Amino acid sequence: MKNIAKKYSKRQPKIKAEMSGKGLTVHAGLLPVLNFMGKLMFRERVHEAVHKDRGANARYQFVDAVQMVVIGLIAGATSMVEVMKVCTDEVLKKMSGWKEVPVDTTIGRIMKLASQGDIVELTGVIHRFRGKIWKRAVRSGHKLRSALCEVWIDVDSTVDGVYGKQEGAEVGYNPHKKGQKAYHPLMAFIAETKEVLHSWFRCGSAYTSNGVVEFMKECMAYMNKGVRVVFRGDSGFFTGELLEYLESIAKPHNK
């Protein structure tokens, strides 16, 4: 029996694996994102909105930092260190035109140059991008055109716990870890297109409905004229002030 087993047994060959190819990337899915950014003229629009020129001799400009952070976040990065790991990919560098990629502390320092007013301007750029994309989508398909006549806005809040001394983090309602400091952002989504329409950064002690009326006013300002909006949220948002506002802007629905 042993002889039969020995006769038909085969030794596992030793295979050596090595990366010898050039021009390979593990982030191939980001290449269409870079092409899409180019079609939207992402860099030009960000530069027009926020003038943060760091001088002709500066290796990196504010728009470089913004693009790198956006690319990193799309790739799943959750910190500046991870953003830089993504952006150091040689294929991405060549496709994006980045000659060099800075260290995470440099990117963080550049991003801190942005003021509250700059953030508002960047938010406006996002919504102008949305309008441009919606126009293209409407031209290309009847289904989406019909959907955008009426949209459902889903409003929700989420608790994001943090460790250490993080600016703006406070102890509040935290179902995951009681007593932990956290952030409690408020977010709005468009159900039909799966887009993040708007978001507010809030401290962890903020109640669910804090500021929701002003938040919805900003959401409505971002919507195209003639679009019927249906609000959807859990019971924590249904305060008297919000209901009064929604009723004040309500339009008759013809069945």
Parent domain of 163: 142-249
Which residue in 180, 147, 133, 135 sits closest to 161, CA to CA?
180
Distance CA 227, CA 149 (A): 5
Tell whether 216 is covered by a domain.
yes
62 and 151 belong to one structural domain: no
The pLDDT score that the predictor gives to residue 8 is 47
One-character DSSP codes across 47-83: HHH------TT-S--HHHHHHHHHHHHHTT--SHHHH
Which amino acid does the sequence have at 56? A
98 and 161 belong to one structural domain: no
92 and 174 belong to one structural domain: no
The pLDDT score that the predictor gives to residue 154 is 96
Confidence of residue 33 (pLDDT cuts 50, 70, 90): very high
Looking at residues 212-224, what average pLDDT do you find?
91
Tell whether 220 is covered by a domain.
yes
147 and 245 belong to one structural domain: yes
Tell whether 32 is covered by a domain.
yes
107 and 182 belong to one structural domain: no
Which pLDDT tens digit goes with each residue over 155-167?
999 998 888 888 8
57 and 150 belong to one structural domain: no
38 and 82 belong to one structural domain: yes
Distance CA 17, CA 15 (A): 6
179 and 87 belong to one structural domain: no
Q: 68: how many CB neighbours lie within 10 A of its CB? A: 26
Tell whether 201 is covered by a domain.
yes
Tell whether 15 is covered by a domain.
no
Tell whether 224 is covered by a domain.
yes
User: Could you tell me if 46 and 68 are in contact, meaning their C-beta atoms sit under 8 angstroms apart?
Assistant: no
Number of domains in the chain: 2
| Boundary-marking domain end, from 92, 111, 130 | 111
* Residue 125, Cβ density class (10 Å: 0-12 exposed, 13-18 middle, ≥19 buried): middle
| Boundary-marking domain end, from 111, 126, 159 | 111
pTM to 2 decimal places: 0.76
Tell whether 132 is covered by a domain.
no
146 and 104 belong to one structural domain: no
Per the prediction, the chain carries an average pLDDT of: 84
* Residue 200, Cβ density class (10 Å: 0-12 exposed, 13-18 middle, ≥19 buried): middle
Tell whether 148 is covered by a domain.
yes
Tell whether the model's pLDDT for residue 56 goes beyond 90.
Answer: no
168 and 107 belong to one structural domain: no
Confidence of residue 73 (pLDDT cuts 50, 70, 90): very high
Which pLDDT tens digit goes with each residue over 118-148?
988 998 999 899 888 888 877 776 566 655 6
175 and 230 belong to one structural domain: yes
Question: Which single residue is written with the structure tokens 């042993």?
Answer: 2
76 and 173 belong to one structural domain: no
